[in-house]
Amino acid sequence: MHNLVGTSVELFAGGGGLAMGVHNAGFRPLLVNEYAKRAIETLQANEMPGGGAWPLIPGDVRNIVDRFEDLKDQVDVLAGGPPCQPFSLGGAHKGMEDERNMFPEMFRAIRQMRPRAVICENVRGLLRPSFKPYFEYILNELRLPFVEREPGATWQEHNEVLEKLLANDVVPAVERYVVKPTPVNAADFGVPQIRHRVIIVAFRADLGVNWRDFEPQPEYSDEALINSMREGGEYWSQERHGNVDPAVRARVIANLPALDFRNEEVQRKLKLKPWRTLRDAIAGVDENEGRPLPYIPLDAVAKKKQVGDISDHFGWPGARAYAGHTPNVLDRPAKTVKAGVHGVPGGESVMQLDDVTFDGTGFRYMTVRETARVMTFPDYWHLAGPRGEKMRQLGNAVPVKLGQTFAEAVGAALKSVGALNVPWEK
């Protein structure tokens, strides 16, 4: 963890991925809020990195008023992934917003706390053409969060007001934010998972932050991974995966796509670090002190048995692959971890093993701990509830490493203009 340099508030914290990432980047949480029962239990069961209980206020964020106002001008980073549920763009109730949409609560928190910076994470689906008008409205509200919507006004009507104010540049800088949305694939930032999201970052305009001082650059690439897997490549080194069966390694190498080494973009990406894979996550590459997770035998799958002393590493029966739901493969980043009715729907949590005879299929479900590693949670992080609820929390989370990368970039930008709190000595 970095030296503590500032303060943060986390809303819609879920199982704690973004909160931990922001904390790891050096921000001390002053308040953490979550609504879901099992996620609250998870936050209560774990200490912050370095020790101490999370400053948790459980319950509906709409009921938090005075505490936000008490924190006015004390917060460097307000972070969270507000639920943004579907809404209608047509019909008799054109633009009717789903009451589960929590972006308005994020904007209220900004008005009451006036944080120096904001980090919002959300699904890439917000960038779809059908959502574009509302996404632009979200960005405009974030730019002018102190301009409240008139009672009864539609979001379209309020957006017209915001656009006029932005065009005329009449709102004081202290009540404006400069905003930048960034589409990301978590794999490009060292997360062993293909996870497409959009991260919105905002800085209070009066701080004068230059976007050139906010540069969370991708450090990993698929091209570098492919190249590292060639015969004799670093991927198969003794320190990494030297124990893989030669026949398996030969099969992986034979299926590698060709790279155009004459292409300048390929040459640039070859200079980056290799994407991390599911096999890397299980082996503990980068995280968890390089400690590999124990092998899950067939009887542990059949009997749902815990294997080893790392929590939540237990088998689960019934895995299968079928059309439209292909399994994870070990030597690629995992597929996107999703939150479904029973944990992860379809084949997203099924993995194909090196042992093609395993259970007669060669497949098994990923354990909760393997899934947590794919989300870059440390092994000491305990998840509350039954398996399905644990998987739901992971599917809803922000990968810790991705959250830390963006929080570090925000911290560097705030530091560049001398805008960080240093409220205590470590």
Residue 347 predicted with pLDDT over 70? no
Closest residue by Cα to residue 4 from 70, 52, 46: 52
pLDDT tens digits, one per residue of 231-255: 889 999 988 999 999 999 999 999 9
CA angle 202, 204, 209 (to 5 degrees): 85
Token pair listed for 109: 């928190």
Q: Does residue 120 carry a catalytic annotation?
A: no
Q: How many CB atoms lie within 10 A of CB 423?
A: 13
Cβ atoms of residues 390 and 340 within 8 Å: no
- For the residues 354-380, what does the mean pLDDT come to? 95
Residue 91 predicted with pLDDT over 50? no
Q: Is CATH 3.40.50.150 what the domain over 6-218+395-416 is classified as, yes or no?
A: yes
Q: Can you spell out the DSSP letters for 97-121?
A: PPTT--HHHHHHHHHHH--SEEEEE
pLDDT tens digits, one per residue of 115-146: 999 999 988 888 888 888 889 999 999 999 99
CA gap 309, 143 in Å, rounded? 48
Select which of 4, 71, 84, 187 is catalytic.
84
Kindly tell me the burial class for residue 172, based on how many C-beta atoms sit within 10 Å of its own C-beta (0-12, 13-18, 19 or more). exposed
Cβ atoms of residues 11 and 105 within 8 Å: yes
Closest residue by Cα to residue 25 from 92, 98, 96, 76: 76
Closest residue by Cα to residue 342 from 304, 374, 375, 388: 388
Q: Is pLDDT larger for residue 360 or for residue 306?
A: 306
Q: Can you spell out the DSSP letters for 307-363?
A: -SSSTT-B-------BTTBPPEETTSPBPPP--BTTBS-TTTTEEE-S-TTGGGTTE
Token pair listed for 161: 């007001």
Where exactly does CATH 3.40.50.150 map onto the chain? Answer: 6-218+395-416
| % of the chain beyond a pLDDT of 90 | 76
Q: Please tell me the least confidently modeled range out of 1-5, 54-58, 160-164, 354-358.
A: 1-5
